Structure 1
Amino acid sequence: MSMTTSDQILQRLHEWGVRRIFGYPGDGINGLLGALDRMQDRMEFVQARHEELAAFMACSHAKFTGEVGVCLATSGPGAIHLLNGLYDAKADHQPVVAIVGQAARAAMGGDYQQEVDLQSLFKDVAHEYVQTAMVPEQIRHLIDRAMRIAHDQRTVTCIIVPHDLQELPAVLEPPRAHSTIHSGIGMTGKHVVPAADDLRAAAEVLNAGKKVAILAGAGALGATDELIEVAERLGAGIAKALLGKAAVPDDLPFVTGSIGLLGTQPSWEMMSQCDTLLMVGSSFPYSEYLPEEGQARGVQIDIDGRKLSIRYPMEVNLVGDSRLTLQALLPLLQRKEDRGWREQIEQQVRDWWGVLEARARNSADPINPQLPFWELSPRLPEDCILTCDSGSTAAWYARDLKFRRGMMGSLSGGLATMGPAIPYALAAKLAYPHRPVVAISGDGAMQMIGINGLVTIAHRYKDWADPRLVVLVLDNGDLNMVTWEQRIMGGDRKFEGSQVLPAFPFADYARSLGLVGILVERPEAVATALDEALRADRPALLQIKSDPKVPPLPPHVTAQQAKSYVKALMQRDPEAIGTVKASAKEWWDGLFGGRGRRS
């Protein structure tokens, strides 16, 4: 059989290093599916349960491997279903290429079945590059440009392939003629270091500071050693944006942990008191958790100049690779002999871990949602990969889990969408079948899309060198983060019509798929259940019946937030008494670290 354009698309992707495509079939991509069948010895097709899951998996593959993730969907509804996962990749600056089918060229513009204006549909999410293939001569350069732009700009690109074009004979080499494109393969890389004068200006600011705070984000994930050395040199503490949680280990005494609404008290205190801020590879959006404008001098490092000085007015802005820039900056930095600021930070960090343990061990009805995270943290395997969903689970993930060197973890940062924990974990496991993976989700995200991903986990796990994939589900019957936002931000009582979830037997469902399913209903059973799951010879799901009344308190409660909470309680919130009691315990532990309090 002669090579078709579909064969050429896959061959070209293979030449770019792509070995796995996530997707779901449909007649709008039959030509591509036939080509995948012919190429299955060199290209794996991972059938998702839904196109949204496929896009999430492509994003996860990019996050955990550094490679371009590729997803495939049919025309019309399949293409539409990709969008949420693609926006997740766009918001977190991950390179993903989406390949989607389209109606035959002759039918386009005729309101044909499943015909959608895909060029317009994808123009926002793939604004750097979205193109429709119209003739075989385009295939080579369309794939080349989609891959190169996705990688270089760390963004989403899209190629639309009409149904009839997929079966046409391939044109491997366009004719050497006017109006033809002759492209080649080869990744671009940004090994950018700022100019010497700019580095000296940055060093002057940092050397002059007496209370230096560092904020590390996803762009600093490859600069662990350099961040630690800079912090040691400057006597600084390091706070982390959510996507930068793995940038530096949490067991270092000067790492204050996460920042923001889901952040820690030491991070809040450090930002409130610092006189100098060094932001590395982060576009953390919440200015109220950064120093007040004018309080601190600022230096920012980012590979994308468009992200500089948009969160805090920086004095020196450095466009460059985080690791290389810090390496160039280090010889210019002076060691601060006065370690008073560092000692203050380290004491606050020690106290905070005591606060978290006290809060995790507070009595609740039936299980405090912080307890599973506190018990999981020391049990995490050395080389594990963690994924987490949006919601209150993200708060406990951010605060209670101590990441150690060598661990990886991610969630939906910029988009903060529900649903990615399970597909993220699946893609991580496919990329690293020898590493244990832990996926953390709430019952809302699991009911939305996670239970579908369990079907694929059950189907694939026997192929993994290490079968451990632990799914931890906080089952509180409540869309908990939004419930608390209704109270704290809106001043409204819990609206049960929107917030209460129907019961679902997650553990039973996991067992019906051939996985380990464990229902945990008592706090004293949490540790044992985690041990059992991590020893299992197959993926395991822990359904933990947790208390929705325990608040994911921000590190600093404003007067307006307190006022809104009181207003919600006065409207006869259905859980008013329970939330007041739970909030009082959290407040007490924040003051005294649990010392002297009785449950």
Structure 2
Amino acid sequence: MSGTVSDYLLYRLGQWGVRRLYGYPGDGINGILGALGRNSEFQFIQARHEEMAAFMACAHAKFTGEPGVCLATSGPGAIHLLNGLYDAKLDHQPVVAIVGQQKSMGLGGHYQQEVDLPVLFKDVASEYTVMVSHPSAIRHAVDRALRIARAERTVTCIIIPNDVQESPYQRPPQVHGSIHSSVGYSEPRVVPKEQDLRRAAQVLNEGKKVAMLVGAGALNAADEIIEVADLLGAGVAKALLGKEQRVLEGDPKYPASQDLPDFPYARYAESLGLRGIRVDRPEQIVRAWDEALSANKPVVLEAYVDPDVPPLPPHISLEQAKHFAEAIFKGDEKSAGVIKQSIKGMVEQLKPHKS
């Protein structure tokens, strides 16, 4: 195809099924932004910050199962991506970061905002980081970045100097040293060994009171999880993503680390054209969920909860319970309210409830 390297970048991304880029504008990616303006098939989602763009790409991967792609300028913009990219790496999500760079002829000359980007990204995108130094190289750079991101469920990175972005695209020639690649990836079907399945089944069948703790690995096995739970009469719980400082360390509440400013989330959502719902009494919960789930637009559900209610999971360990008690007796500023709500919670668990 004719056009610039940036035009071909979008063309190749489109062949892989990518239709959305999350990013923030900057001079280091002007060539790519210009190509986006010429291409009606792509949607550029402008974040308020490059870090947020990387988180959005990670969320895209989590919700769609397809690679998320984020875009940032060189130097500081590229650095800002890292936090969101590490989130994707540690959550094993396929994300491709496309990053601008200063003109290739100035690299190594300590040019304004020049950062050694291959070194910067070599940890978070350890499986594949490449700087495109020739117009013909953009094809295999895109193909490998997307294929590796999908196959390894990880982060990959393509760095494109801005003079390369604006250069005319050149098809790889049929000569020695030229790389030719293609579009497409088929996920393998991974099947456990029969002996491992039998051993797992034996553990479950011999259990007297089976409880199932289900994590992200079972994302696409909801029907199977439900069937196994029904056969075993087992309860199912999801992984707990966090615990409180009182439980983990036995320290009383440190207000500076936990007190948050009072922000009107629901009203702010309404000002953006979304649906905002605020709940500050228990009897409002059912109605709020009904409204939220039947809304024809995105909804922000703001729940005003009692900060004295201890967020303790039902499977709290003896050591964690000990730490929680220590925090209270060390002089936690909310100790009276926490004790009151803890007793209230225990009474509620002992009361008979309608099924």
Which residue of structure 2 lines up, in the alignment, with residue 66 of structure 1?
A: 65
Preserved contact between residue 74 and residue 101 of structure 1 (Cα < 8 Å): yes
Describe the SS at the equivalent of 1:131. strand
Opposite residue 236 of structure 1, the aligned amino acid is: L
- Give 1:436's aligned residue: none
Q: Which amino acid aligns with 1:143?
A: V
Contact 2:229 2:236 in 1 (8 A): no
| Structure 1 counterpart of 2:182, from 176, 181, 184 | 184
Distance 1:514 1:185 in 2: 39
Contact 2:95 2:155 in 1 (8 A): yes
Q: 1:101 to 1:93 in 2, by over 3 A?
A: same
Q: Equivalent residues in 2 for 1:327-342 (5 A)?
A: none
Change (3 A) 1:257 1:545: same
Instruction: Call closer, same or farther: CA 1:219–1:525 in 2, change over 3 Å.
Output: closer
Q: Could you tell me how far 1:201 is from its partner in structure 2?
A: 5.4
Partner of 1:16: 16
1:125 matches 2:124: yes
1:504 aligns with 2:263: yes
Q: 1:57-98, CA deviations, whole angstroms, 9 ceiling, x for partnerless residues? A: 222222222212111111122212222221221122111111
CA distance in 2, matches of 1:114, 1:9: 24
- The letter of the residue matching 1:222 is N
Q: Confirm or deny: 8 A CA contact 2:135 2:164 kept in the other structure.
A: yes
- AA paired with 2:184? G
CA contact (8 A) 1:148 1:188 kept: no
Unpaired segments ≥5 residues, structure 2: none
Q: Any conservation in 2 of the 1:214–1:236 contact (CA below 8 Å)?
A: no
Aligned pair 1:257/2:234, yes or no? no
Letter in 1 for 2:352: R
Distance 2:183 2:2 in 1: 23
Residue 568 (structure 1) aligned with residue 327 (structure 2)? yes
- Provide the C-alpha distance between the structure 1 equivalents of 2:106 and 2:30, rounded to a whole number of angstroms: 17
Letter in 2 for 1:47: Q
Quote the Cα distance in structure 2 between the aligned partners of 1:501 and 1:514. Answer: 25
The answer on whether the counterparts of 1:93 and 1:154 sit within 8 Å (CA) in structure 2 is yes
Percentage of matched positions with identical amino acids:
56
TM alignment of 1:359-398, pairs within 5 A? none
Q: Is 2:308 aligned against 1:549? A: yes
In structure 2, C-alpha distance between the alignment counterparts of 1:142 and 1:189, rounded to whole Å: 20
491-500 or 208-217, larger mean C-alpha shift: 208-217
Q: Name the residue aligned to 1:293.
A: none
- In structure 2, C-alpha distance between the alignment counterparts of 1:542 and 1:215, rounded to whole Å: 27
Give the distance between the partners of 1:545 and 1:21, measured in 2 at CA.
35
Deviation of residue 159 (structure 1)?
A: 0.3
1:48 deviates by 1.8
Please name the residue that 2:206 is paired with.
210
Change (3 A) 1:200 1:582: same
Query: How many angstroms apart in 2 are the aligned matches of 1:21 and 1:106?
Result: 28
Q: Which range moves more in the overlay, 515-524 or 9-18? A: 515-524
Per the alignment, in what secondary structure is the counterpart of residue 489 of structure 1?
helix
CA contact (8 A) 1:213 1:236 kept: no
Aligned pair partner of 1:224 in 222, 239, 242: 222
- The verdict on how the C-alpha distance between 1:191 and 1:562 changes in structure 2, with shifts beyond 3 A counting, is closer
CA pair 539-64 structure 1, distance change in 2 beyond 3 A: closer
Select 1:175's aligned residue among 151, 173, 176.
173
- For residues 536-584 of structure 1, what are the alpha-carbon distances to aligned partners after superposition, in whole Å with 9 as ceiling and x for unaligned? 4544434332111111112233343233223322332110100111122
The answer for the alignment partner of 1:525 in structure 2 is 284
| Equivalent pairs, count | 350
Moved more, 566-575 or 12-21: 566-575
The letter for the 2-side match of 1:127 is S
Distance in structure 2 (CA, Å) of the matches to 1:490 and 1:539: 38
Instruction: Please report the TM-score for the alignment, with normalisation by the length of structure 1.
Output: 0.54
Gaps of 5+ in 1: 238-253, 263-389, 392-480
Asked if 1:586 corresponds to 2:315, the answer is: no
Alignment of 1:76-155 (within 5 A): 76-155=75-154
| 1:520 Cα deviation from its structure 2 partner | 3.3
Quickly say closer, same or farther: Cα 1:81–1:513, change in 2 above 3 A. same
Aligned counterparts of 2:176 and 2:7: Cα–Cα separation in 1 = 26
* Residue correspondence of structure 1 range 309-324 to structure 2 within 5 A: none
Q: Measure, in 1, the Cα distance between the counterparts of 2:196 and 2:328.
A: 52
SS in 2 for 1:157: strand
CA separation of 1:586 and 1:30: change in aligned 2, threshold 3 A: same
CA shift in 2, pair 1:189/1:537, >3 Å: closer
Q: C-alpha offsets along residues 294-315 of structure 1, whole Å, 9 cap, x if unaligned?
A: xxxxxxxxxxxxxxxxxxxxxx
Counterpart position of 1:3: 3
* Distance in 1 of aligned mates of 2:295 and 2:227: 39
- Tell me the distance in 2 between the aligned counterparts of 1:137 and 1:77: 27
Letter in 2 for 1:135: H
Instruction: Report the TM-score, using the length of structure 2 for normalisation.
Output: 0.89
Contact 1:150 1:157 in 2 (8 A): yes
Counterparts in 2 of 1:175 and 1:53: CA distance versus 1, 3 Å:
same
Post-superposition offset of 1:231: 5.2
Partner Cα separation in structure 2 for residue 79 and residue 154 of structure 1: 21
Judging changes above 3 Å, is the alpha-carbon distance between structure 1 residues 574 and 229 closer, same or farther for their aligned structure 2 residues? Answer: closer
Instruction: Name the residue aligned to 2:274.
Output: 515
Aligned partner of 1:193 in structure 2 is: 191
| Aligned CA-pair RMSD | 2.5
Q: Give distance in 2, aligned partners of 1:76 and 1:496.
A: 36
Per the alignment, residue 74 of structure 2 pairs with 75
1:74 and 1:100 in contact (8 A); partners too: yes
Structure 2 CA distance for partners of 1:512 and 1:563, relative to 1, 3 Å: same
Q: Partners in 2 of 1:119 and 1:113 — Cα distance?
A: 17
Greater shift in the superposed pair: 499-508 or 546-555: 499-508
Amino acid of the structure 2 residue aligned with 1:551: P
1:236 alignment partner, one of 229, 232, 252? 232
- Cα deviation, residue 525, structure 1: 3.1
Q: Do the aligned residues in 2 keep the contact of 1:151 with 1:188 (CA within 8 Å)?
A: no
Residues 512, 566 of structure 1: alpha-carbon distance in 2 compared, 3 angstrom cutoff: same
Q: Which amino acid aligns with 1:29?
A: I
Poorly superposed stretches of 4+, deviation over 6 Å = none
